[in-house]
Structure 1
Amino acid sequence: MARGFRNERHMSRSHEAEKESFWVSYTDLMSALLVIFALVLMITIFNTQSAYEEKEAAINEKNQMIEEVVGVKSEIIQELIKAFKDSDLAMEVDPQTGAIRFSGGVFFETNSSEVSPTGRKYLEEFIPQYINILLSDRFRNEISQIIVEGHTDTAGGYLYNLQLSQDRALSVVQQIFQPTFPNFKYRGDLKSVITANGRSFSIPILKADGKIDANKSRRVEFKFRLKDDQLLDQLQGLGEKDGN
């Protein structure tokens, strides 16, 4: 009986020791898992914070670039408005884009692509001032293109008007570089940036009632494009995606 009792007590102690060993091992395992979880959580928070900071830095850089490009464009537009505000030329400056629009009939007769005497007189007065601003030391390195753009009304077919508008734009550029055209500053530099485009009747001018204004639609526009305009378009596109 005594031996049996001792055996039972020994087995009980052994069982208790095993239970204690199990709980110690389980506690150690849970402690290790908590440490691992804490480390993973810290790494996740760190990576999230880093990613947020990188994104914020990229957004700030993008916004700064946009501000710089918009600032230059705005400065050019203000210079153009100031230069031509008291002009007697039949023209207007778009305060948003800086495009300068000469109304229909100023440069060409109907269905003609030959620059009229009045048109030549306008060009002789306009071009020196216009180019003196765009190709000045302040803006020359910002300008990628100066565009002469021809537009027509809707009379006739699209292809006919496309050819007519292209011929008119080209005639204006040719007139500027005629030997008889008065010399002006930056004339040589102008050749590397000027181009002539025809738009047919694809961008008509509308009246208040929504109908096409044929006289205003027949026009020649002078536009400029900055070297960073394409980058600006891309950045604004990214901004729209970020907003979505």
Structure 2
Amino acid sequence: MKKRHIEYEGREENAFSLSTGDLMAGLLFIFILLLMGALLQVQKNAEQDEEIVKKYDKTKTQLYIDLQKEFKDDLATWRATIDSSLCIRFQEPSMLFDEGKQELKPRFKEILNDFFPRYIAVLKRPEYRDNIVEIRIEGHTNSNGGYYSNMELSQDRTRSVLQYCFSLMPPKDIIWMKSLVTANGLSSSHLIYKKNGEEDKFLSRRVEFRVRTNAEKQLEDIANKRLINKKK
């Protein structure tokens, strides 16, 4: 009796093609999982960045409010201002230094006697002290004279301010301050201009106190990270 050989047209089985299909499906599944993981990480990083921004805004805003509250009755007398960038600006040159000199005038010493201990007391409050990475004393000149000679003068002046401010504080505060307070002479690199675009030679001669927080540094790191990723 002859064996019957039956072929099913168009339905030839191929075990290799089935295993290849399963492999492709597996790889696709793995790719999807990796993509989902990457998207979740991006979302997590974005949420962390947003939290840092919120923390920075909250800290900065509250510190600005507290500084305003502390000094609101003195600013006009001192010819000083506070802006939302946490810059306290002493802008009466005749009170600060004699022209071309680095020694503090008696009136400026009187102002610092009142201002600086109270300033440090605000910054040392528990809600702020651990967030502060730098307290900058900045000296600025106008464009009169040479840039380099003005740089030397502004550096000498800020060093004089720093030394005098330190002399006002008890040793326990000086230990904390030494890791944070810096003197920065900036010559005429940050001029102040009038509305018509002309340099305000009077207001450009000034001393400023600025605060940088660790949240601000983290914002800088975020910006740098995004810039690097963009270049990639």
The structure-2 alpha-carbon separation of the partners of 1:35 and 1:209, relative to structure 1 and needing over 3 Å to count, comes to same
**More displaced 10-residue stretch of structure 1: 144-153 or 219-228:** 219-228
Looking at structure 2, the residues matched to 74 and 239 of structure 1 have their Cα atoms a distance apart, in angstroms, of: 25
Q: Structure 1, residues 62-112: CA drift from partner, whole Å, max 9, x if none? A: 2212322332222212211221222222111121x1011100413112111
State the match for 2:118 in structure 1: 129
* Cα distance, 1:187 vs structure 2: 4.7
* Cα distance, 1:238 vs structure 2: 3.1
User: What are the equivalent positions in structure 2 for 1:7-46 lying under 5 Å apart?
Assistant: 17=6, 20=8, 23-26=11-14, 28=15, 30-46=17-33
TM-score by length of 2: 0.85
TM-score by length of 1: 0.82
**More displaced 10-residue stretch of structure 1: 234-243 or 62-71:** 234-243
Task: Give 2:145's match in structure 1, choosing from 147, 152, 156.
Answer: 156
Looking at structure 1, the residues matched to 178 and 17 of structure 2 have their Cα atoms a distance apart, in angstroms, of: 77
Task: Give 1:171's match in structure 2, choosing from 141, 150, 160.
Answer: 160
User: What are the equivalent positions in structure 2 for 1:35-184 lying under 5 Å apart?
Assistant: 35-87=22-74, 88-95=77-84, 97-105=85-93, 106-178=95-167, 181=168
* Cα distance, 1:29 vs structure 2: 5.1
- Structure 2: 5+ residue runs without aligned partners? none
Looking at structure 1, the residues matched to 169 and 226 of structure 2 have their Cα atoms a distance apart, in angstroms, of: 46
* Cα distance, 1:155 vs structure 2: 0.6
**More displaced 10-residue stretch of structure 1: 99-108 or 203-212:** 99-108
Report the AA paired with residue 226 of structure 1. T
Q: Structure 1, residues 4-60: CA drift from partner, whole Å, max 9, x if none? A: xxxxxx8xx76xx4x54883224x555444433332322222221121112111221
Task: Give 1:238's match in structure 2, choosing from 216, 225, 229.
Answer: 225
State the match for 1:217 in structure 2: 204
Aligned partners of 2:142 and 2:188 also within 8 Å: yes
The structure-2 alpha-carbon separation of the partners of 1:53 and 1:33, relative to structure 1 and needing over 3 Å to count, comes to same
Cα RMSD after superposing both structures: 2.8
Structure possessing the higher radius of gyration over alpha carbons? 1
Q: Secondary structure at the match of 1:190?
A: helix
Q: Structure 1, residues 166-206: CA drift from partner, whole Å, max 9, x if none? A: 0110111122234xx58698355323321111000000001
Aligned partners of 2:91 and 2:206 also within 8 Å: yes
> Are 1:202 and 2:202 an aligned pair?
no
**More displaced 10-residue stretch of structure 1: 229-238 or 206-215:** 229-238
Q: Secondary structure at the match of 2:191?
A: coil
Aligned partners of 1:135 and 1:186 also within 8 Å: no
